């Protein structure tokens, strides 16, 4: 499990550790981890040139001490100080190791002039192999000051390694309100932060490398399942199991207009995690469902319902009938408009950003800009687990606990993929997982199956369903 802690939690853990360590020891741990990560990124030290962008906080200090270590390894290190309050001891250490320090970036004397006027003033700009972003620490506010923005514009095209978090992003929310660093690699310390997992900030982090510095941390409000966590959650049949004890999942999806939604929802449900799949949707889709899945049976008792995908005008009736059965249910697509009917039940809602915007009566752009906030808000408002689909899907419980899905591929943005996901999560609900575990594990499996299916190129939703047994097979024996 990846754990993402808040700034407050990290600060408290750092303060506790600092009280037990010699002065400067914690920063030296972080700086060493950063320096070795930069060396790995560069591949070699000899002849390499590294530029440090240094602010006034701890991240600037980490960058300076890491730069000193790199300089001692033969790297040519130059630092631009973006603040008069940069750590003097770190500056002295870098100079003593042979590094170069500029009191300010060489961006001219007119602070409001465009950066394009100053690009020619940077000596040997093209010879920097990497820029280390030590501008703002985790306590900084979103956005960047003009001098930092100009320095970054001047250095556009050079790979960036961010210290702890990309400067300018909102660390605790994953929002990007204003100019910010876009890193190729982020080297973080002690624990992940929310911005490493939640979009849009997660897109600015690049690859994330965690350096253990010995923090003693409480439970994290944001998590990300890993393969071993999903394997531990997967239901496995007992020695005396039969199809009913393994769970029966019912699907009410599809219509005459969208029969494929029924087939794809059933395909996700028929992944083998539940003992039986029943189809009780529009008769217009029944023949296609039977042709694709002869093992699927008709109406009867179930342990969970999957409702809504492609259900068109029948969505409200499908929700009402499913709620009456008093079993867990997953609500998707058109049926989300009737999510209030399931309040108080064990429910998973699976909107994309546009659908969640309609549920909350906000603009889609607001949801995409503040995914964590809106997923939590919807979970509280509807008293349900909300699975907000996206590049990094956010799964939120009504109490605010969140899991973020980091599996997947851009090829997963294809029609019908959400139908497969709904059926898969429904199978996990029927097999006995609680809504939060079913939604987060199902989302992880869905992303992993898409990644596997896309190894040879573009995919469609049915390819994701076809890859599920391979992914599940790789996990059930672990």
127 assigned ligand-binding residue: no
C-alpha to C-alpha distance for 306 and 329, rounded to whole angstroms: 6
C-alpha to C-alpha distance for 134 and 125, rounded to whole angstroms: 19
Q: Which residues contact 442 (CB under 8 A, 6 or more apart)?
A: 421, 424, 425, 427, 428
310 assigned ligand-binding residue: yes
141 assigned ligand-binding residue: yes
393 assigned ligand-binding residue: yes
C-alpha to C-alpha distance for 38 and 104, rounded to whole angstroms: 23
243 assigned ligand-binding residue: no
386 with 330: CB under 8 angstroms?
no
In 3D space, the residue among 82, 469, 81, 420 whose CA is nearest the CA of residue 272 turns out to be: 469
283 assigned ligand-binding residue: no
376 assigned ligand-binding residue: no
101 with 76: CB under 8 angstroms?
no
61 assigned ligand-binding residue: yes
392 assigned ligand-binding residue: yes
42 with 171: CB under 8 angstroms?
no
Region for residue 306 given its phi and psi (left: phi exceeds 0; alpha: psi -120 to 50; beta: otherwise): beta
352 assigned ligand-binding residue: yes
250 assigned ligand-binding residue: no
97 with 71: CB under 8 angstroms?
yes
59 assigned ligand-binding residue: yes
β-partners of residue 100 are 78
Residue with tokens 């360590």: 21
419 assigned ligand-binding residue: yes
C-alpha to C-alpha distance for 247 and 239, rounded to whole angstroms: 15
In 3D space, the residue among 339, 331, 341, 289 whose CA is nearest the CA of residue 307 turns out to be: 331
167 assigned ligand-binding residue: yes
139 assigned ligand-binding residue: yes
315 with 338: CB under 8 angstroms?
yes
DSSP states of 151-188: HHHHTTTS-EEEESS-TTS-TTT----S-----SEEEE
168 assigned ligand-binding residue: no
Tokens of 354: 């546009």
140 assigned ligand-binding residue: yes
60 assigned ligand-binding residue: yes
Name the burial class of residue 88, with classes exposed (0-12), middle (13-18) and buried (19+) by CB atoms within 10 angstroms of its CB. exposed
418 assigned ligand-binding residue: yes
142 assigned ligand-binding residue: yes
Residue with tokens 């970054």: 152
137 assigned ligand-binding residue: yes
400 assigned ligand-binding residue: no
Binding residues: 58-62, 133, 137-143, 164, 167, 261, 310, 352, 389-393, 418-419
Binding residues for K(+): 59, 133, 167
Binding residues for (6S)-NADPHX: 58-62, 137-143, 164, 261, 310, 352, 419
Binding residues for AMP: 389-393, 418
């Amino acid at each position: 499990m990846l754990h993402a802690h808040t700034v407050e939690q990290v600060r408290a853990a750092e303060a506790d550790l600092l009280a037990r360590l010699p002065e400067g020891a914690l920063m030296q741990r972080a700086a060493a981890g950063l320096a070795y990560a930069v060396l790995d990124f560069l591949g070699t030290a000899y002849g390499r040139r590294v530029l440090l962008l240094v602010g006034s906080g701890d991240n600037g200090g980490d960058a300076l001490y890491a730069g000193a270590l790199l300089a001692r390894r033969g790297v040519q290190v130059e630092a631009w100080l973006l603040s008069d309050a940069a750590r003097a001891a770190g500056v002295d250490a870098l100079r003593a190791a042979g590094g170069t320090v500029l009191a300010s970036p060489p961006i001219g004397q007119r602070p409001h002039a465009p950066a394009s006027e100053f690009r020619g003033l940077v000596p040997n700009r093209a010879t920097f192999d990497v820029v280390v972003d030590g501008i703002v620490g985790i306590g900084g506010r979103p956005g960047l000051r003009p001098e930092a923005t100009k320095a970054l514009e001047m250095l556009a095209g050079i790979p960036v390694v961010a210290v702890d978090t990309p400067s300018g992003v909102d660390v605790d929310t994953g929002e990007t309100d204003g100019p910010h660093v876009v890193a190729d690699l982020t080297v973080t310390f002690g624990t992940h932060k929310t911005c490493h997992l939640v979009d849009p900030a997660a897109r600015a982090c690049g690859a994330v490398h965690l350096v253990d510095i010995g923090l003693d941390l409480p439970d994290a409000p944001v998590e990300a399942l890993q393969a071993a966590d999903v394997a531990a959650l997967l239901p496995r049949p007992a020695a005396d199991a039969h199809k009913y004890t393994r769970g029966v999942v019912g699907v009410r999806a599809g219509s005459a207009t969208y029969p494929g939604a029924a087939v794809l929802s059933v395909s996700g449900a028929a992944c083998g995690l539940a003992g039986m799949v029943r189809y009780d949707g529009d008769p217009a889709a029944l023949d296609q469902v039977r042709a694709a899945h002869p093992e699927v049976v008709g109406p009867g008792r179930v342990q969970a319902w999957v409702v809504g995908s492609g259900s068109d005008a029948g969505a409200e009736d499908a929700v009402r009938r499913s709620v009456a059965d008093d079993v867990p249910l997953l609500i998707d697509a058109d049926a989300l408009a009737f999510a209030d009917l399931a309040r108080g039940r064990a429910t998973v809602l699976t909107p994309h950003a546009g659908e969640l915007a309609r549920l909350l009566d906000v603009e889609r752009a607001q949801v995409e800009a503040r995914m964590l906030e809106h997923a939590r808000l919807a979970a509280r408002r509807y008293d349900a687990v909300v699975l907000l689909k996206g590049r990094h899907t956010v799964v939120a419980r009504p109490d605010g606990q969140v899991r973020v899905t980091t599996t997947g591929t851009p090829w997963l943005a294809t029609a019908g993929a959400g139908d497969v996901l709904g059926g898969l999560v429904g199978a996990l609900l029927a097999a006995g997982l609680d809504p939060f575990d079913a939604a987060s594990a199902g989302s992880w499996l869905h992303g992993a199956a898409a990644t596997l299916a896309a190894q040879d190129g573009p995919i469609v939703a049915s390819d994701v369903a076809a890859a599920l047994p391979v992914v599940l097979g790789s996990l059930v024996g672990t």
